[in-house]
Structure 1
Amino acid sequence: MALIRINAQGETPVMHGSPHPVASILKQTQSTDGPVIVMTHGYKFAPNQGSNCPHRDILSLQPEGGTGIASQWPYQLGFGQGNQAEGLAIAFGWDARCALWQAHRRAKLAGKALAKVLSRVHQQSPQRPIHILTHSMGVEVILESLLHVPPGAVDRIISMTGATYQGRLIAALTSPSGRQAEFINITSRENDIFDFLYERMVAPAVPGDRVIGHGVNLRNVLTLQLDCPKTLKQIARLGQIIAPPQRRICHWSTYMRPGTMPFYQDLLRNREKLTLDLLRSGLPEAPAPRWSRLFARPTVVRPLFLTQKPS
């Protein structure tokens, strides 16, 4: 059982496409070796809504249609490949197909549902690592769940262009469970327009707060700006090659760009080797400012004269 699919119905977790109780299915996974990796989507996906169902798209082992931009997260994180100790993949869906402000509210309910799943898995196997991968507004689900799970239930979180405010993240990561978790904040200036729109459509709890695309100053948070050449060089030194960005604006680049998902697999399956301190060494002190990519001058490739060599 490499992958189980769970959805949030309000604050209650239910199996996707199955009448069986979540607790009974989770109990059957106790004997599997390897980490637990939970994956949840962001805005505009919703379970059981045709091509917008995440379980047919990014949360599937094999594509079943979907949006046409799918990158099957479970497979690319090492599941369904017949390897020993693959672990357990949990694909967690929630209804984010609504107005943005409604999705923001639903994410909190879904976070409470996810917390029940995480708590159950942790209770069954306290020594088993539980990691999380999420995109966009899915980070709101994860941060809410941290407020309702026991300390030590969550180990490492990867947030790809997360849609949330710095204050919200700090509150979650300074909670009893949050202090024991590591948060890798994957950003890109390709996402600036989406951060800008989020700030205008979802009011922060504290006026003047900024989204996490600007970085967060906490000991257990590491920000990796994936359109920064210096960051890509540091990742390459650690053994993973990520293709440089090709667009000025893109919301999906942080998982669609070649090399990103193998890097995340390494981060989640080799946490002891790829520590935050090791990853942090050689990185820029702060992310590039907003709009720096959108208004940057285009790179001009000058033609070589006939007498010149390429290098």
Structure 2
Amino acid sequence: MALIRLNVSPETGRIELHQSPQCAQRVLQSAAQSSGPIIIMIHGYKYQPGSARHCPHRSIFDAATGWPAQLGVTAGAGLGICFGWAARGSLARMFETAQQVGQQLAQVIATVHKAAPHRAVHLVAHSMGAEVALSALAQSAKGAVSRVVLITGASFQSHAARALRSPAGKTAEIFNITSRENDLFDFVFERLLGQDAPEDRALGQGITAPNALNIQLDCPDTLAALTTLGCGIAPPQSHICHWSGYTRPGALAFYAQLLAHPDLLSLPRVASLLPPRPSPRWSRLPLAGLTKTRIMGRLPA
């Protein structure tokens, strides 16, 4: 699978190739002509492309040890796109930036979908990257996105609902990965950014839609169900962790299977095997009004 590294320029807002003067749009159009799924990976808060210490292309997007390798991007047919954006600053300002950067991600989706409408385009996003993904989904065309994996997303239920009402949102399938390990982060996120709508909740409390599935990765019954699908994931090792949704052994391999085999791991099939109710939240009231709920999660600084 080919791998393309993109960044959103904080100065111009344009999409650029990481450490390359080539035209990003032309490279995307050319690469899209091959076959296989297109997987777009979106990092979250605290990363800065090009930084010696915080560049995502040198850490979670590393071709040998990071997401590309564990999602099967570097070992199979298809196209992998690492989407970098400047995410260092105050939480409130970066949340606004994530919404704006969603427009650039929507342009990337439109470019590859137009160049290869027959190819499935999938999104995998962690933490505040989920806000970028949902913003892009809300601005994309019908059928432009096939599956979206949101890993302990730093976004709100209302934002997910808005994205799912869009043309692309109505046709995409959303896998919302949560875990009680992320409860503290969800709680702080809501208190710091949810003042305008205090009743709004973070994605850890679930997404309600016929084309969305919540998967709770710290629920023993959920882990047992995933094992029956051949997607074993290690149990949590701590009570508080924002990153276990992709660092826990087996988690990224499970997402890789979701994206590589959507027919075998159809949303209804996975939903039918999961427990009807999630494990009670440690820091919250139980989810209300949701059935067939599933979750997973964790995040890096």
Q: TM-score, normalised by structure 1?
A: 0.87
Aligned mates of 1:162, 1:80 — CA distance in 2: 25
The structural deviation recorded for 1:205 is 5.2
Instruction: Answer whether contact 1:133 1:157 (CA < 8 A) is retained.
Output: yes
Partner of 1:260: 251
Aligned mates of 1:8, 1:204 — CA distance in 2: 29
Aligned mates of 2:153, 2:98 — CA distance in 1: 13
Post-superposition CA distance 1:15-66 (Å, at most 9, x none): 111111211111221332210000010010111111200010111203xxxx
Instruction: Answer whether contact 2:63 2:69 (CA < 8 A) is retained.
Output: yes
Note if 1:34 corresponds to 2:53.
Answer: no
Amino acid aligned to 1:196: F
The structural deviation recorded for 1:204 is 5.8
Amino acid aligned to 2:54: N
Structure with greater Cα Rg: 1
Aligned mates of 2:278, 2:225 — CA distance in 1: 14
Give 3-state SS (helix, strand or coil) of 2:194's partner: coil
Aligned mates of 1:6, 1:13 — CA distance in 2: 7
Unaligned runs of 5+ in 2: 285-301
Amino acid aligned to 1:56: R
User: Aligned to 1:151, which of 134, 139, 142?
Assistant: 142
User: Aligned to 2:109, which of 118, 124, 133?
Assistant: 118
Aligned mates of 1:196, 1:174 — CA distance in 2: 26
Amino acid aligned to 1:12: R
Instruction: Answer whether contact 2:102 2:132 (CA < 8 A) is retained.
Output: yes
The structural deviation recorded for 1:176 is 1.1
Instruction: Answer whether contact 1:40 1:59 (CA < 8 A) is retained.
Output: no
Aligned length: 282
Give 3-state SS (helix, strand or coil) of 2:273's partner: coil
User: Aligned to 1:74, which of 46, 68, 72?
Assistant: 68
Aligned mates of 1:246, 1:8 — CA distance in 2: 35
Give 3-state SS (helix, strand or coil) of 1:51's partner: coil
Instruction: Answer whether contact 2:32 2:79 (CA < 8 A) is retained.
Output: no
Note if 1:248 corresponds to 2:258.
Answer: no
Aligned mates of 2:140, 2:150 — CA distance in 1: 19
User: Aligned to 1:49, which of 48, 51, 59?
Assistant: 51
Give 3-state SS (helix, strand or coil) of 1:121's partner: helix
Aligned mates of 1:160, 1:265 — CA distance in 2: 13
Aligned mates of 2:283, 2:90 — CA distance in 1: 29
Instruction: Answer whether contact 2:154 2:189 (CA < 8 A) is retained.
Output: yes
Post-superposition CA distance 1:104-156 (Å, at most 9, x none): 01101211011111000000011100001110010000111112221111000
Aligned mates of 1:172, 1:4 — CA distance in 2: 26
RMSD: 1.5
Instruction: Answer whether contact 2:194 2:200 (CA < 8 A) is retained.
Output: no
User: Aligned to 1:233, which of 224, 235, 240?
Assistant: 224
Partner of 2:291: none
Instruction: Answer whether contact 1:30 1:124 (CA < 8 A) is retained.
Output: yes
Amino acid aligned to 1:16: H
Amino acid aligned to 2:3: L
Give 3-state SS (helix, strand or coil) of 1:209's partner: coil
Aligned mates of 2:217, 2:283 — CA distance in 1: 14
Evaluate the alpha carbon distance shift between residue 204 and residue 26 of structure 1 in structure 2; reply closer, same or farther with a 3 A threshold. farther
Name the % identity.
Answer: 46
Instruction: Answer whether contact 1:214 1:287 (CA < 8 A) is retained.
Output: no
User: Aligned to 1:188, which of 167, 176, 179?
Assistant: 179
The structural deviation recorded for 1:261 is 1.1
Amino acid aligned to 1:53: C
Partner of 2:210: 219
Instruction: Answer whether contact 2:221 2:275 (CA < 8 A) is retained.
Output: yes
The structural deviation recorded for 1:95 is 0.8
Instruction: Answer whether contact 1:165 1:204 (CA < 8 A) is retained.
Output: no
Aligned mates of 1:89, 1:102 — CA distance in 2: 28
Partner of 1:134: 125
